[in-house]
Amino acid sequence: MMSPEAKQRIQIALALALVVAGIRAGYILYQRHEDYLAAQKVEQAKKAGYTNADYYVTPKKLYPYDLKSAKMLTEQPVWVKEGYRYTYYRYVPVVKSVDFAHEAGLLGPIERLQITDVMAVAAPGGRKQVVATFDKEEHSFAVPIGFESDGQYKIYSDEMFYVEDPHELYKHWPAEVWQAVAQHEVKPGMNELQADFAVGMGVPDAGASSNEKTVRYPNGGKALVVIYRGGKAEEIKAGG
C-alpha cells in the first residue's frame, strides 16, 4: 500500500509536469502568434504598396523561454542587431564565472558571434543573469541576454541578435551600401537601418517628424550626427 508521503510526492511531480506542459504550450502559442503578426506585417506592406524591400524582410526568431530553448543560439552564428548597446564581460570557463565588476567592451555593429553556451550565473543585485558566452581574440566573454527570478526566465536575445546572416536578409541593398557598412561609415542616401548596421544604435532628437529626423550615434566613441530627410541620410557630421 502506498504511503501518504509517496502519494504526496507523486501529486507534486504531476503538478510540476502540468506547469511545465502549460509553459511549453504557452510558448508554442506565442511563437505562432508572433509568426502570424510577422506575416500580417508583410501583407499590410504589400497592400500599402511599399516599394522599400526592407518592409518585406522578416528575420527569424527563436522565442527562447528557458535555458534549454536559449541554447538554440549555439546552433548557428548570430549577428548583433544594435552595435555599441550591449556590454560584455570577461568569462572564466573553468569556474563558469563572469566578472561583472569590469566591463570588457561593447558588441559592435553587425558583429558576428559564435555562441558557445547559455547559462544562468550569479550577478550583483541577487538576481541571476542569463548570459551567452563566446570567444573573441583568444579570450572568453559573456553578454547578458536575460535574467532568472523565482525560477522564471525573461530572455531577450531575439531583440539582440539576428540568427540569419543579415547580408542574406538584406541582399537587395546595393554593393556600395554594404561597402559603407563594412567600413563603418554613413553615406548620403542611406536609410536608418543601413546606418544602424554601419555605426550602431542611434538616439533620435525629440520632436522628430516623418519628413525630418536628427539621430545621434555614439559610434564607439566617434560620435556622429545624421539628419534624415524623407527617410534618407542627407547631412552627416561629427559631434555628440
Q: How many domains does the chain have?
A: 3
pLDDT tens for residues 63-89? Answer: 999 999 999 999 999 999 999 999 999
CB count within 10 Å of CB 92 equals 11
What is each CA distance from 37 to 32, 34, 43, 59, 204, in whole angstroms? Answer: 9, 5, 10, 13, 26
Residues in the chain: 240
Examine the domain organization and report whether 79 and 112 are in the same domain.
yes
Examine the domain organization and report whether 71 and 158 are in the same domain.
yes
Examine the domain organization and report whether 138 and 71 are in the same domain.
yes
Strand partners, 204: 215
Of the candidate ranges 62-66, 149-153, 184-188, 221-225, the one whose mean pLDDT is the lowest? 149-153
Examine the domain organization and report whether 156 and 183 are in the same domain.
no
Q: Which class for 65: exposed (0-12), middle (13-18), buried (19 or more C-beta within 10 A)?
A: buried
Examine the domain organization and report whether 208 and 130 are in the same domain.
no
- Identify the domain boundary among 162, 183, 201: 162
The DSSP call for residue 49 is: T
Residue 62 lies in a domain: no
pLDDT at 182: 97
Rounded to the nearest 10 degrees, the angle between the axes of helix 175-182 and helix 192-199 is 30
Residue 76 lies in a domain: yes
- Identify the domain boundary among 162, 178, 206: 162
Residue 61 lies in a domain: no
Examine the domain organization and report whether 114 and 143 are in the same domain.
yes
Examine the domain organization and report whether 41 and 93 are in the same domain.
no
pLDDT tens for residues 103-157? Answer: 999 999 999 999 999 999 999 888 899 999 999 999 999 999 999 988 899 999 9
Q: Bin 49: left if φ > 0, else alpha if -120 < ψ < 50, else beta.
A: left
DSSP for 59-100 reads -------SHHHHGGGGGS-EEESSTT--EEEEEETTTTEEEE
Domain that holds residue 181: 170-238
Q: What is the CATH number of the domain that holds 129?
A: 2.30.30
Residue 148 lies in a domain: yes
Q: What share of the chain is helix, strand, coil (3-state, %, to 5)?
A: 35, 30, 35
CA 198, CA 92: separation in Å to the nearest integer?
A: 31
Q: What pTM value is reported for the model?
A: 0.79
Q: Cβ contacts of residue 194 below 8 Å, gap of 6+?
A: 173, 177, 180, 181
Output b/e per residue, 54-63; b: 16+ Cβ within 10 A: eeebeeebbb
Q: 142 near 89, Cβ under 8 Å? A: yes
Examine the domain organization and report whether 177 and 205 are in the same domain.
yes
Residue 31 lies in a domain: yes
